[in-house]
Amino acid sequence: MDAQVSDNSRSITIIGAGLAGALLATLLAQRGWSVDVYEKRGDPRVRGYAGGRSINLALAERGRHALRLAGADDAVMSHAVMMRGRMVHFADGRTDLQRYGRDDSEVIWSIHRGELNISLLDIAETAGARLHFDRGLVAADFDRHVATFADAGGGLLDVGFDSLVGADGAGSALRVAMAKREGLGERTENLGHGYKELEIPPGDDGSFRIEPNALHIWPRGRYMCIALPNDERTFTVTLFLPSHGEPSFDTVRNGAEARAFFERDFADASPLIPNLEQDFDSHPTGTLATLYLDLWHLGGDAVLLGDAAHAMVPFHGQGMNCAFEDCVALAEHLDNAPDRASAFAAFQAERLPNARAIQQMALENYLEMRDRVDNDDFLLQRALELELAARHPDRFVPRYSMVTFMRIPYATAFERGRVQRELLADVTRGHSSLDTIDRALADRLVTERLPPLGKSA
């Protein structure tokens, strides 16, 4: 065994030093826990970042709140690029900036996954967590409380543990080990769409080639492209496309076909991506799925969080934000509950319904991004939504804002969002412009159907 099991009941072993694992390690170490973290890959600070599920990510208030609690916000934000809204690129070449919030206090931030992970690892180590790289979990014996890890050369190491926390991502090995012990009710729903990352390099003068402070979207019905800025003045473009059908990754199979496809459907983006052919041929095609579990923990022996518990499709930009919120919740439950089994159970009871809600909203957002942002009904409802939000700021908050700029439970945002959508549909039905909308009716329905959000919401 290469680590001593602490007699201290406040000792914990985290599997995975990705985004959630590194943040949880920090939060627990800062609270005086003895924390060991085992990561399958090498140390990215020594070998360079080995890549992950996407090159950059949108960070929102939930994630930032967790980073602030860990003292990591300043380090992370020093590399972040502000995104004020969606810059929609229509098929005819027109563009339109749709603001996400009311002003620059309601924005999201583009951050580089590798830089974020490295900042979090530094902070975790400073807080006192012990990080063990090149140690991939391969098995866990919950009777003997021994976890088995493979090192980079394939050698096996047995390590004792008090409790294991699975922060090892969508393909979690801890989840597999737990499922051998007890059924977790696991279901995976594949979206049937994949993604490919491409790059817009800086212009010849070193500047951003398109508006930097926006999340760019090229909606095209059943498929779309997005682009997020990076602080080195590049953009990471992600093409989301069905796996089968026309067009799909079956018909757009290589760089040359991808260039022809871009020339036809993303004509303004195509010249911005000079290495499209090479990027397309050399980058992997990612798959997208939603993971549902009915059980996230085995008594006090093991618990899952982040993507290991509830991987989701990326269309609300909340997977990491949700995983960070999980970390804060788990640290608090571990501090407050009488024992680990109760802490893990309370954690699941709090977070599972919220994970389900954001998973559903993420699926719905795909339809909205690729198909609705350039649709007239959507734009009329969006215009009325903004008006009602301004008139009833304590009652009518756009669902995107509740998810992105607030920390009210995802499940509450989901339910209120449903009520608001119905209301908008009821009031705009049969209208094509704001001019003819019955404002008195709209106001009355808001007051009747939406109680004030209140401080606790």
Tokens found for residue 207: 């500047």
| Residue 86 near ligand FAD by CB under 6 A | no
Residues 6 or more apart whose Cβ sits within 8 Å of residue 401 = 100, 101, 106, 389
The only residue of 40, 196, 297, 382 in contact with ligand FAD, by rule CB under 6 A:
40
| Least separation in angstroms between CB 28 and ligand FAD | 15
Minimum gap (Å) between residue 312 Cβ and ligand FAD: 7
The span from the CA of 58 to the CA of 81, in Å, is 9
Judged by CB under 6 A, which of 33, 38, 261, 347 binds ligand FAD? 38
21/417 with CB nearer ligand FAD: 21
By C-beta, is 229 or 306 nearer to ligand FAD? 306
Nearer to ligand FAD, 109 or 266 (CB): 109
Query: For ligand FAD, which residue of 26, 163, 290, 321 counts as binding (CB under 6 A)?
Result: 321
> At its nearest, how many Å lie between ligand FAD and the CB of residue 238?
6
d(CA 52, CA 30): 27
Interface with ligand FAD includes 87 (CB under 6 A)?
A: no
361 binds ligand FAD (CB under 6 A): no
Q: Are 309 and 326 in contact (CB under 8 A)?
A: yes
Segment 267-286, which members bind ligand FAD (CB under 6 A)? Answer: 286
Task: Quickly count: other Cβ atoms within 10 Å of residue 170's Cβ.
Answer: 19
Task: Identify the H or E element spanning 150.
Answer: strand 146-150
Give the whole-angstrom CA distance, residue 381 versus residue 375. 10
User: What are 1's two structure tokens?
Assistant: 């065994």
Shortest Å distance, C-beta 59 to ligand FAD? 7
Contact characters 111-130, ligand FAD, x per CB under 6 A: --------------------
CB of 288 or CB of 445, closer to ligand FAD:
288
Among 83, 147, 320, 331, binds ligand FAD (CB under 6 A): 320
Q: Interacting stretch for ligand FAD, rule CB under 6 A, among 50-58, 241-249, 365-373, 423-431? A: 50-58
Does residue number 39 form part of the binding site for ligand FAD (CB under 6 A)?
Answer: yes
Residue closest to ligand FAD when measured from CB atoms = 18
DSSP for residue 221: S
Minimum gap (Å) between residue 91 Cβ and ligand FAD? 23
Alpha carbon of 146 to those of 9, 72, 178: distances in Å? Answer: 16, 32, 13
3-state SS, residue 252: coil
- Choosing from 85, 194, 314, 409, the residue that interacts with ligand FAD (CB under 6 A) is 314
State the nearest-atom distance from the C-beta of 432 to ligand FAD, in Å: 34
User: Which residues, 133 to 192, sit near ligand FAD by CB under 6 A?
Assistant: 136-137, 167-169, 173
User: Distance from CA of residue 385 to its chain's centroid?
Assistant: 25
| Closer CB to ligand FAD, 85 or 317, in the complex | 317
- Residue closer to ligand FAD by CB (options 135, 384) is 135
List the interface residues with ligand FAD, window 189-218 (CB under 6 A): 195
Burial (Cβ within 10 Å: 0-12, 13-18, ≥19) of residue 23 = buried
The per-residue DSSP string of 313-344 comes to -GGGS-HHHHHHHHHHHHHHHHHHSSSHHHHH
| CA atoms of 261 and 124, how far apart (whole Å) | 45
Q: Residue 292 pairs with which residues in a beta bridge? A: 187
Per the rule left: phi > 0, alpha: psi between -120 and 50, beta: everything else, 245 is left
**Least distance (Å) between residue 76 CB and ligand FAD:** 13
Pairing of strands 224-229, 302-304: unpaired
Share in percent of the chain as helix, strand, coil (round to 5): 40, 20, 35
Strands 286-292 and 187-200: antiparallel
Longest dimension (CA), the chain: 74
Rounded to whole angstroms, how far apart are CA atoms 401 and 106?
A: 8
Task: Give 371's DSSP letter.
Answer: I
Tokens encoding 187: 């279901």
Q: Which of 12, 17, 298, 331 binds ligand FAD (CB under 6 A)?
A: 17
Identify which of residues 38 and 223 has a Cβ nearer to ligand FAD in the complex.
Answer: 38
53 touches ligand FAD (CB under 6 A) = yes
Which range in 37-45, 156-164, 365-373, 431-439 contacts ligand FAD by CB under 6 A?
A: 37-45
By beta-carbon proximity to ligand FAD, the closer residue of 41 and 216 is 41
Residues that bind ligand FAD (CB under 6 A): 15-21, 38-41, 52-54, 57-58, 136-137, 167-169, 173, 195, 238, 286, 306-308, 314, 317-321, 323
